[in-house]
Amino acid sequence: MSETIFNKIIRKEIPADIIYEDELCLAFKDVNPQAPIHILIIPKKSIPKVSDAVKDDHNVLGHLLLKAGEIANTLGVKDAFRLVINNGEDAGQTVFHLHIHLLAGRRLNWPPG
């Protein structure tokens, strides 16, 4: 597996505005926000894309979604947020370490892109 910027953030080798951390995941503010609230939620385990996840990853995948809801609640946007997971380059994924974008703080239109 190749090294990503997220691996360096997990190891605290480069700074990030971390808003949540536990044994399975890390959440931090996106440095290029697409909404007033833009948080990235990543597993500490390196999984390049959601399509690379295996059966044994089901606990961490579920954990990420539960934490997304808790983080949204903490930020005061419990009922008005969007979660986005890009899978692969053609879907807009630029960092190949699975991550969930939590977007909120403005009206989010549909379709997204």
Select which of 63, 97, 99, 101 is catalytic.
Answer: 99
Distance CA 65, CA 42 (A): 10
Is 99 tagged catalytic?
yes
Q: Is the distance from CB of 43 to CB of 9 less than 8 angstroms?
A: no
| Four-residue CA torsion sign, 103, 105, 110, 113 | negative
Which positions are catalytic? Answer: 99
